[in-house]
A and B are shown apart, each in its own frame.
Chain A
Amino acid sequence: MGLFILRRVAMMIVTALCLTYIVFFMTNLYPNLEKLAKSQGNFRMSDEAVASYLGDRGYLEPTPIKYAQWLGLLPGYKTVRDDGTIVGKCARPGVAPEDTPRFCGVLQGDWGFSTVSKEPVADVLGKRLANTGKLMFWVMVVMVPSALIIGVLAGMREGSGTDRSLSTISILSTATPEYVSGVIFIALLASTRYGLGPILHDAGIIEAKALFKGTAKSAMDDANLRNFTLPVLTVALYGMGYIARMTRASMAEVMTAQYIRTARLKGVSFRNIVMKHALRNALIAPFTVIMLQFPWLLNGVVIVETLFSYSGFGWQLVNAAGNNDIEMLLAVSVVSVAVVLVTQLISDIGYVYLNPRIRIS
């Protein structure tokens, strides 16, 4: 088991290195660098000015060398100007030239400097990740129990009316991408003119004109039911259908097993069969599925955070990609690769522990 985990971790590091190198290469293509220089300097820069801006800061070195600098294997590029100030990879505003370190890479714990928000990447991304963590926590709280309940209820009596209606609901939810469900939710539940809000307001049930808020900006500091329900619901809905269908399939399979028939013949009540005999075995498959859903949720998070303007990790990704904020993008891709691979690892290990029939030698 230890060797298995070790091999997987080594594989993870290799994958992360390859991916960051690809991101590094793409973001360091000359047109992208030109855009970066122009957005940092000014938009009417001449080609020579762009070239000297980029050259001073070490952007025009060969890509592998720049990549090694980012990793912290090579000393950061720097140019000492005539007036003694330093520009380059490791230079930070407000840091004296003599205090500027020689190495400033990931290995030294320095994730770089965001050219858009003018702050160290680690600080910005930390805040964003905390926001997204809050969102994901509530998504999980909503999504997992409801998906499992729907799946178990549907799979309990395969082919019954309950099964058919719940299965239709879960197919519908897998067919609704976040940008569609989000738009429908906002139009029906967060509009002051249409949908449920005005009706309830006229009936005197709610104080405000709309049931929920269409943006989650205020939810970053103070999340409440009004501003956080819609984003959470939107992300949860897309993943829910898939998990519910997996749970249903697994539950339906377990319900046809021999030991369930034995329990029935013994005269155990249906409720006890489901709760005591079937449920535990039926929940092994959904566990892996829930874990493997994380990467997909990441996608949903990007869309939802953009739609509801909630400054989290996904919003940061869009922002960094739109402005070619190179070091921010690299950090973002490291985080998302780590999420994907770690959840894969957890799902493999968890599967082995939950299912005694599988052993990795």
Chain B
Amino acid sequence: MEPLTWTGSLGALLNPVFQGLAMIFIVAVALQILASFIFRAAPVTTNADGTLTSGNGPIEMITKVSKYSLYGLLGLCLIFLLAGIVMPFGKAGIIGAVSARLAPVWLALFVTFTLSMVYKRKLGLYGKLFDSLIGMIGFGLVMFWVYTAVFTGVFDMIATHDSLAQLSGMKNKLPGTPVRGADPETCGHACWYLLGGDNLARDVFSRMVDGSWIVVRIAPLATLFAFMVGITLGLPAGYFGGKLDTLLSFLANLILAFPVILLFYLLVTPEIVATGIPSFMAMVLFIFPIIFVAVLINSRYYTRPRLRTPLLAGILAVLVWIYLSLISAPGTVLAFLPESLDLFNIPGGILVVFVSVVFVNAPTVFRIVRGLTLDIQTRDYVAAAQTRGEGPWYIMLWEILPNARGPLIVDFCLRIGYTTILLGTLGFFGLGLPPESPDWGTTINDGRKLLSIYPHPALVPAFALLSMVLGLNLLADGLREESLRD
């Protein structure tokens, strides 16, 4: 079989066009920045019927050129992607083949965007996101990875090979290399290593999409836990102040003064894991969500004990059971739950990574929540609640917290990105996750040894991580803009 080129049979026609447009676009953008210093913007003229006509100076000309060349480039990209889905697999080159593998993701994205656009006025802050281009791009990038992860991890659809399988003769092969000895009649989508092979002859594309499943599972959940810890501690610290505040702030600053990587090395090495310290930390950190939920429900319904008691008992029973099966795992110091009652076991490395990421993030969240509480508690509605005789926990959780949601949601998005970076850092230093794990940090670390000769095994996960974090940052930016507009 022939190795695939990047654009396949479309390339002969479209590649020169693409390159030409790209050159024009780059030159136009550079000129645009230069021109804004040299020329003045042409004045806008007001017509008799009240409409405006934009002026026609050099700046406007260059802007027009850069705009249309950008549209042209985006259109061509769309053609490359669509052709991959329509044409037979592999005919439209590597880009087409990857796009064909990602077809369910495109479909899901399309459905999500269409539905959200149609109903955007009924969807609150989420709907407003679709008013800002930046926010939409960010949301698109994030959802792209979420859907990729879900379709790979849950439905087993996108990966072309097993991410751990090592096929002979595929070591460090370039993108688009056909699998050695594959039968062209029957191999289907497994005919090629679409994005090449790594130094252990595994498929880079499959490892990248499998890695997204690890990141998408850990990063948001770890951030959520960090928020639970930060909120549960930050609200009383800001509200009550005094000694509690001093103590908690000191502890938070203590953790923040630690260099993150030193902390990871101290927490995640196998020797420390053997002593069980991470398990005990998990025991402490995972209790905060239970406290949070319990206080949340109790402070709302304590005046109606007949509703509160069964509700609280039911929810707590479920949560405690999940909590116990979460922290109890055979082979660690905390293996107290009999196997028949243990719902699930988290693979050793993942729990440790999870705990250390939560531990690093929680103090920052704590500081943010504390600051917001200090600010909001001076408002009139808090004073009104106090006059009504509401308890302190009701005021914190049902008056202050909902009014602090804007900054918290924005920070939540940013922090997922930061958590993704932290997970990558852990992988980059080979800490926590097993060395064959397909997550992005570990694959970058794996690929960097032969970087200047075979760059693709490291570049693919690097760009994956970059696009996901970029998406989260853009999403946070869009949300901030839209929530400020209220």
Bound together, the chains give a CA A184 to CA B451 distance in angstroms of 9
Bound together, the chains give a CA A160 to CA B37 distance in angstroms of 12
Check A191/B455 contact, CB under 8 A, given A23-B266, A321-B265. yes
Q: Out of B33, B260, B271, B458, name the residue touching A32 (CB < 8 Å).
A: B271
Query: How far, in Å, is A237 (CB) from chain B's closest CB?
Result: 12
Check A179/B452 contact, CB under 8 A, given A172-B470, A184-B462. no
Encoded as 1 (CB less than 8 Å from any B CB) or 0, chain A from 3 to 44 comes to 000000000000100110011001101111011000000000
Task: Tell me if B455 and A194 are in contact (CB < 8 A).
Answer: yes
Task: Tell me if A161 and B36 are in contact (CB < 8 A).
Answer: yes
Encoded as 1 (CB less than 8 Å from any B CB) or 0, chain A from 154 to 188 comes to 00000011100100000110111101100110110
Task: Tell me if B33 and A171 are in contact (CB < 8 A).
Answer: no
Among listed B210-218, B221-229, B319-327, B422-430, interface-contacting one: B422-430
Among listed B156-164, B251-259, B340-348, B385-393, interface-contacting one: B251-259
Task: Tell me if A29 and B258 are in contact (CB < 8 A).
Answer: no
Name A187's closest neighbour in chain B (CB-CB): B455
Among listed A65-73, A302-310, A350-358, interface-contacting one: A302-310
Bound together, the chains give a CA A175 to CA B472 distance in angstroms of 9
Query: How far, in Å, is A85 (CB) from chain B's closest CB?
Result: 30
Encoded as 1 (CB less than 8 Å from any B CB) or 0, chain A from 291 to 317 comes to 000010011001100110000001001
Interface positions of A (Cβ within 8 A of B):
15, 18-19, 22-23, 26-27, 29-32, 34-35, 160-162, 165, 171-172, 174-177, 179-180, 183-184, 186-187, 190-195, 210, 214, 295, 298-299, 302-303, 306-307, 314, 317-318, 321-322, 324, 329, 332-333, 336-337, 340-341
Task: Tell me if B444 and A171 are in contact (CB < 8 A).
Answer: no
Task: Tell me if A193 and B272 are in contact (CB < 8 A).
Answer: no
9 sample A-B contacts, Cβ–Cβ < 8 Å, listed by A number: A171-B473, A179-B428, A180-B462, A183-B451, A186-B451, A190-B452, A321-B269, A336-B262, A337-B258
Bound together, the chains give a CA A333 to CA B254 distance in angstroms of 12
Bound together, the chains give a CA A31 to CA B452 distance in angstroms of 38
Task: Tell me if A193 and B452 are in contact (CB < 8 A).
Answer: yes
Q: A19-B257, A180-B424, A333-B258 are in contact. List 20 more A-B contacts (CB 8 A).
A: A19-B258, A22-B266, A31-B275, A34-B271, A161-B36, A165-B29, A177-B465, A179-B441, A180-B462, A183-B451, A186-B452, A187-B459, A190-B452, A303-B425, A314-B261, A318-B265, A318-B429, A321-B261, A321-B266, A336-B258
Bound together, the chains give a CA A329 to CA B265 distance in angstroms of 11
Task: Tell me if A177 and B421 are in contact (CB < 8 A).
Answer: yes
Q: Collect the chain A residues with CB atoms within 8 Å of residue B275's CB.
A: 29-31
Task: Tell me if A26 and B473 are in contact (CB < 8 A).
Answer: no
Task: Tell me if A174 and B36 are in contact (CB < 8 A).
Answer: no
Task: Tell me if B448 and A183 are in contact (CB < 8 A).
Answer: yes
Task: Tell me if B466 and A176 are in contact (CB < 8 A).
Answer: yes
Task: Tell me if A333 and B33 are in contact (CB < 8 A).
Answer: no
For residue B417, CB closer than 8 A to chain A, the reply is: yes
Q: Out of B33, B261, B267, B469, name the residue touching A317 (CB < 8 Å).
A: B261
Encoded as 1 (CB less than 8 Å from any A CB) or 0, chain B from 259 to 298 comes to 1111001110101101101000000000000000000000
Q: Collect the chain A residues with CB atoms within 8 Å of residue B441's CB.
A: 179
Name A241's closest neighbour in chain B (CB-CB): B473
Interface residues on B, range: 35 or more
Bound together, the chains give a CA A162 to CA B66 distance in angstroms of 13
Bound together, the chains give a CA A116 to CA B477 distance in angstroms of 47
Task: Tell me if B262 and A191 are in contact (CB < 8 A).
Answer: no
Q: Out of B265, B277, B473, name the residue touching A322 (CB < 8 Å).
A: B265
Bound together, the chains give a CA A172 to CA B141 distance in angstroms of 13
Query: How far, in Å, is A172 (CB) from chain B's closest CB?
Result: 6
Check A162/B36 contact, CB under 8 A, given A26-B266, A299-B261. yes
Task: Tell me if B451 and A187 are in contact (CB < 8 A).
Answer: yes
Task: Tell me if A165 and B259 are in contact (CB < 8 A).
Answer: no
For residue B318, CB closer than 8 A to chain A, the reply is: no
Check A179/B271 contact, CB under 8 A, given A15-B257, A187-B452, A332-B262. no
Name B454's closest neighbour in chain A (CB-CB): A193
Query: How far, in Å, is B316 (CB) from chain A's closest CB?
Result: 33
Bound together, the chains give a CA A193 to CA B174 distance in angstroms of 13
Query: How far, in Å, is B170 (CB) from chain A's closest CB?
Result: 19
At the interface, is chain A mostly helix, strand, loop or mixed? helix
For residue B63, CB closer than 8 A to chain A, the reply is: yes
Name B468's closest neighbour in chain A (CB-CB): A175
Task: Tell me if A29 and B451 are in contact (CB < 8 A).
Answer: no
Bound together, the chains give a CA A302 to CA B422 distance in angstroms of 13
Q: Collect the chain B residues with CB atoms within 8 Å of residue A183's CB.
A: 444, 447-448, 451, 458-459, 462
Task: Tell me if A175 and B473 are in contact (CB < 8 A).
Answer: yes
Q: Collect the chain B residues with CB atoms within 8 Å of residue A184's CB.
A: 459, 462-463
Bound together, the chains give a CA A176 to CA B459 distance in angstroms of 13
> Sorted from nearest, which 9 A-B pairs have the closest CB atoms?
A321-B265, A187-B455, A31-B271, A175-B470, A191-B452, A175-B469, A177-B421, A180-B462, A26-B266
Query: How far, in Å, is A338 (CB) from chain B's closest CB?
Result: 10
Task: Tell me if A180 and B417 are in contact (CB < 8 A).
Answer: no
Encoded as 1 (CB less than 8 Å from any A CB) or 0, chain B from 415 to 453 comes to 001000100110011000000000001001101100111
Query: How far, in Å, is A212 (CB) from chain B's closest CB?
Result: 10
Task: Tell me if B473 and A179 are in contact (CB < 8 A).
Answer: no
Task: Tell me if B459 and A179 are in contact (CB < 8 A).
Answer: no
Check A337/B257 contact, CB under 8 A, given A31-B271, A161-B36, A179-B428. yes
In the complex, which residues 132-177 of chain B have their Cβ closer than 8 Å to any Cβ of chain A? Answer: none
Q: Collect the chain A residues with CB atoms within 8 Å of residue B253's CB.
A: 15
Query: How far, in Å, is B437 (CB) from chain A's closest CB?
Result: 16
Bound together, the chains give a CA A191 to CA B254 distance in angstroms of 42
Name B464's closest neighbour in chain A (CB-CB): A180
Bound together, the chains give a CA A30 to CA B276 distance in angstroms of 12
Bound together, the chains give a CA A2 to CA B284 distance in angstroms of 40
For residue B32, CB closer than 8 A to chain A, the reply is: yes
Bound together, the chains give a CA A340 to CA B260 distance in angstroms of 12
For residue B358, CB closer than 8 A to chain A, the reply is: no
For residue B474, CB closer than 8 A to chain A, the reply is: yes
Bound together, the chains give a CA A30 to CA B63 distance in angstroms of 67
Check A179/B444 contact, CB under 8 A, given A186-B452, A302-B261. yes
